[in-house]
Every structure is written in C-alpha cells, then in structure tokens.
C-alpha cells in the first residue's frame, strides 16, 4: 500500500514514520526546503524520543521517502493525508485553515487517479465537508473521497501512542474510504485496537471534545490545588482519592502551572469559537481557557511571594523551559510568562532545559542567561523555580542544591520534590496545593 503525507512537521513526520513501520510505502512531502534537506540527511528538525531511529530505519529500508515535489509524492497514493499546521487565527481564536485548504487545492490539481484525502491535522467541524465540496468542484472527473482521521499523539510519547493507541477514529461516509483506512490500520486491528468509524463531523468533534475534556481535568485539579493551599489539604492526596474512582481516572490530575503546548491552548480556543458560532456556547470551555490564562499570568507573583515580596536584583534559577518533558516545544509554555514576569520585576534569570534551549532562546528576554546545564543555572541562585519535570531535575539532592545556591528558596511548580529533605536542609519549600509545615 502506498500513501502520501503532506507536511513533515510533528504530526506528519511521526505518522509517516509509524505507518512505514507498519510496512506501508510512505512519501512525506515537506514544502520547506531546509527541513526537507535535514530529513534527507537523517537529521530530525524536532525532538521526539525514538523518532530519529524510526525515521532512519524506514528510510534505509526504502519505505519512507521525502520527495522533492508534491506530484512525485502523491503518485499512485491510495490515501493522501493532510498534516499541515492549524494555528490559532489572529484576532478571533479560530483555527487558521489557510495551510489546509492550500494543501488540498495543490493535491487536487496534481492528482491523476482516484484517492482518499484524509485530514490528520486538527480541523474545525465542517472542514471535511468543505474539502469534499472542493473535490467535487475542482476535480469532477475523479472519484475523490474525503475522510477525517484525527491524531491523539502526546509529545514525548508520540510513537507509543501511535503504535499502541487507545483507539483509532475514522470519519468517512463512503465504503471505499472506510476500506482504505481499514486496510491501512490493519496491524492495529490485529492487536484488537478499537477502530471507531463515524461521520466526518463526528470525527472532527471527537478530537476537540477529547482535548477540551483533558484540559478541563487539568484546570479542575489546579483550582483544587488553590483551595488546598487555603484549607491545609494536600492536592496530591486529593488527586489520588478522586483518581482511584474508575469514573474519573488518574490521568491528567497533576496540579501545576497550567497547560501549554501545541494542542490544548489552540484547541480549547477553537472549540469555544465553534460552539459559539453553532449557537451552543460551551461555558465550561470558556472557563477552562480563562482560568488557565489567569494561572499562567500569576506564576511570577507566586515566585515573588515565595521570595519575600521582592525579586529585584535576585538571581532566579529556572529549571525547565519546554511545556512538558521529552520535547523541545515552547508553544504556550508556562515558562514564558513566568520568566517575563520575573524579569519585569528586576530579577536576573539563569535558565536551563535539556532539549529546548535553542527553541527557547528567541522567545526569552535578552537579559536571561541560558546555562549549559542544571548546575550552571543553580550556581549563585537566590531561588530555584522548577517548571518542567525532566527526570534529571527530580533526582537533584538537597545537598547539591545547598552547595550550588546562594539562597534557600525552592518553588516547585510540578510537585516533584519531597519537601521534607529540602526543609531539613534549610530550604524554604513552596509547592502547588501542598500544606505548609
């Protein structure tokens, strides 16, 4: 079986490499010449554990290619996946579909055989129907079908998520489209992965509903953390207590600085706009967006309070810049408003992240010092703020912190440290939703 994927970014590259691992012949069409050249040379433009080897192995086997033109890429492809960006549209919060429709138009004009066009990008409800109308208008001479196949990949664990998913969702309204997608995902069917076939609009909404619900769980436990701080409860135990209820589940109940990344912020905004325009406004999602924005905006004030009310002239070590571990993605990272807020209050920032230094550099104020390692960020610091829970930060011993730091303030925005040893070593520890001694 042969398929093409338009867009060699995060979703397109991961999906292409994983489909190739299934034994499918995959052409990933990347319009950015510099990125394409990197891929041809075996260099991966994003950080995702295991992706470099997966791409290299399947490229060497001839199953994964990066053709120079779209025409070559889609030749003889039974399915053509659209995996280009859908960023938030400036001014109104809607998903910007400029790249999606441009890619579809290029595909339709170049296509010379029947095929199924599949949206892999996260697109608003009704996008598939619009693409179907484009196909009927631009290529009435060809049998072009349209399907929706939303991705549910978590950055940092995208390959396991693709290879062993909870489910596969396919929105398709013709038997031919369903047959092509069923054949493509046959390796997952053999391991009894649920494959849910729906209509186009339903599949598109499933993706938004899933991300909206997960973002709501994060926001809920963050609000419970604030309440815990007021009443002397422990949010970690609250999360365990409710997470053990099978109706609720344990995942996404980790209190922290608020959600970021490439999906939740833009998808909650888009879902909010979709619901408003449909005449069924989602007040829950509206609240999730507002509460999360407020939480991230208030992070600097939390650190200032832990430092006695003033950070002017103080050196603050910030460990972790990416929005989550095992990625270099800085999109909507809580570290950005935190660092900017501290710098605006006169603090000197020494920051380190194991993977996100290069992506973070142009996004941070010029006065921020990017250290070579965690020790460099901690050296001479008056306070430590842990933002991203990389494993190498979890194992920092209190004695090492005492050796490197000048001050004694630790602000743990992920609750990864054990407060008792830190306090025993003379540190003033502040977590999220954890009771004071």
CATH code of the domain in which 322 resides? 3.40.50.720
Whether residue 203 is contained in a domain is answered as no
Any catalytic annotation for residue 18? no
By C-alpha distance, which of 211, 224, 317 is closest to 266?
211
Q: Which of 18, 228, 263, 307 is catalytic?
A: 263
Q: Do 275 and 327 sit in the same domain of this protein?
A: no
Indicate the residue among 159, 177, 198 that finishes a domain.
198
Q: Do 303 and 292 sit in the same domain of this protein?
A: no
Whether residue 436 is contained in a domain is answered as no
Q: Which residues have C-beta within 8 Å of that of residue 33, sequence separation ≥ 6?
A: none
CB atoms within 10 A of CB 383: 27
3-state secondary structure 385-412: EECCCCHHHHCCCHHHHHHHCCCCEEEE
Q: Are 81 and 149 within 8 A, CB to CB?
A: yes
Whether residue 183 is contained in a domain is answered as yes
Whether residue 347 is contained in a domain is answered as yes
Q: Are 386 and 411 within 8 A, CB to CB?
A: yes
Q: Which residues pair with 95 in a beta bridge?
A: 88
Q: Do 225 and 192 sit in the same domain of this protein?
A: no
- Distance, in Å, from the CA atom of 295 to the CA atom of 283, rounded to the nearest integer, reads 18
Indicate the residue among 173, 198, 223 that finishes a domain.
198
Q: Do 215 and 103 sit in the same domain of this protein?
A: no
Domain that holds residue 144: 2-198
CB atoms within 10 A of CB 164: 10
Q: Do 270 and 177 sit in the same domain of this protein?
A: no
Q: Do 419 and 272 sit in the same domain of this protein?
A: no
Whether residue 55 is contained in a domain is answered as yes
> How many degrees, rounded to 5, is the angle at CA 224 between CA 219 and CA 230?
135
Pairing of strands 383-386, 409-412: parallel
Burial of 129 (0-12, 13-18, 19+ CB in 10 A): middle
Rg (CA), the chain: 24
CA distances from 84 to 12, 97, 264 (A): 7, 9, 17
Q: Do 59 and 103 sit in the same domain of this protein?
A: yes
Q: What pLDDT was estimated at residue 17?
A: 97
By C-alpha distance, which of 399, 402, 409 is closest to 429?
409
Q: Are 121 and 97 within 8 A, CB to CB?
A: no
Q: Do 339 and 292 sit in the same domain of this protein?
A: no
In the chain, the N- to C-terminal Cα span, in Å, equals 62
Whether residue 342 is contained in a domain is answered as yes
Which residue positions in the chain have pLDDT lower than 70?
91
Pairing of strands 383-386, 315-319: parallel
* CATH number for position 218: 1.10.1040.10
Q: Do 184 and 221 sit in the same domain of this protein?
A: no
Whether residue 220 is contained in a domain is answered as yes
Q: Do 29 and 113 sit in the same domain of this protein?
A: yes
Q: Do 13 and 140 sit in the same domain of this protein?
A: yes
Helix, strand, coil fractions of the chain, as percent rounded to 5: 45, 15, 40
Q: What pLDDT was estimated at residue 334?
A: 97
Q: Do 302 and 360 sit in the same domain of this protein?
A: yes
Whether residue 437 is contained in a domain is answered as no
Burial of 321 (0-12, 13-18, 19+ CB in 10 A): buried
Indicate the residue among 150, 165, 198 that finishes a domain.
198
Task: Please state the domain count of the chain.
Answer: 3
């Amino acid at each position: 079986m042969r398929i093409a994927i338009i867009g060699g970014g995060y979703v397109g590259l991961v999906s292409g490499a994983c489909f190739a691992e299934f034994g499918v012949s995959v052409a990933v069409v990347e319009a950015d010449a510099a990125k394409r050249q990197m891929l041809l040379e075996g260099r991966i433009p994003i950080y995702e554990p295991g992706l470099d080897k997966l791409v290299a192995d399947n490229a060497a086997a001839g199953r994964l290619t990066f053709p120079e033109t779209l025409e070559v890429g889609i030749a003889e492809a039974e399915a053509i996946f659209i995996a280009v960006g859908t960023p938030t549209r400036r001014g109104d919060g809607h998903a910007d579909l400029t790249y999606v429709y441009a890619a579809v138009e290029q595909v339709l004009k170049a296509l010379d055989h029947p095929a199924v066009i599949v949206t892999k990008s996260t697109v608003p409800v009704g996008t598939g129907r619009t693409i179907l109308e484009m196909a009927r208008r631009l290529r009435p001479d060809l049998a072009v079908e349209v399907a929706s196949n939303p991705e549910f990949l978590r950055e940092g664990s995208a390959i396991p998520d693709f290879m062993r998913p909870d489910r596969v969702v396919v929105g398709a309204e013709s038997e031919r489209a369903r047959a092509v997608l069923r054949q493509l995902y046959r390796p997952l069917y053999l391991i009894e992965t649920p494959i849910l076939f729906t209509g186009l609009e339903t599949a598109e909404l499933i993706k938004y509903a899933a991300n909206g619900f997960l973002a709501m769980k994060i926001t809920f436990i963050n609000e419970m953390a604030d309440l815990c701080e007021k009443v002397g409860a422990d949010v970690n135990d609250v999360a365990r207590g409710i997470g053990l209820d099978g109706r609720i589940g344990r995942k996404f109940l980790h209190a922290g600085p608020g959600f970021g990344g490439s999906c939740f912020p833009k998808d909650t905004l888009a879902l909010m706009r979709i619901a408003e325009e449909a005449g069924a406004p989602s007040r829950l999602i509206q609240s999730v967006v507002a509460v999360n924005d407020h939480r991230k905006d208030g992070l600097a004030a939390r650190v200032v309070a832990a430092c006695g009310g003033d950070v002017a002239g103080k050196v603050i070590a910030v460990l972790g810049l990416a929005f989550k571990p095992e990625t270099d993605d800085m999109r909507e990272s809580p570290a950005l408003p935190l660092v900017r807020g501290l710098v605006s209050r006169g603090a000197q920032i020494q920051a380190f992240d194991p993977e996100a230094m290069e992506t973070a550099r142009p996004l941070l104020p010029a006065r921020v010092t990017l250290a070579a390692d965690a020790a460099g960020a901690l050296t001479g610091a008056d306070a430590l703020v842990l933002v991203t829970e990389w494993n190498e930060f979890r194992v920092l011993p209190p004695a090492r912190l005492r050796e490197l730091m000048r001050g004694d303030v630790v602000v743990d925005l992920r609750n990864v440290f054990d407060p008792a040893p830190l306090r025993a070593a003379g540190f003033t520890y502040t977590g999220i939703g954890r009771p004071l001694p």
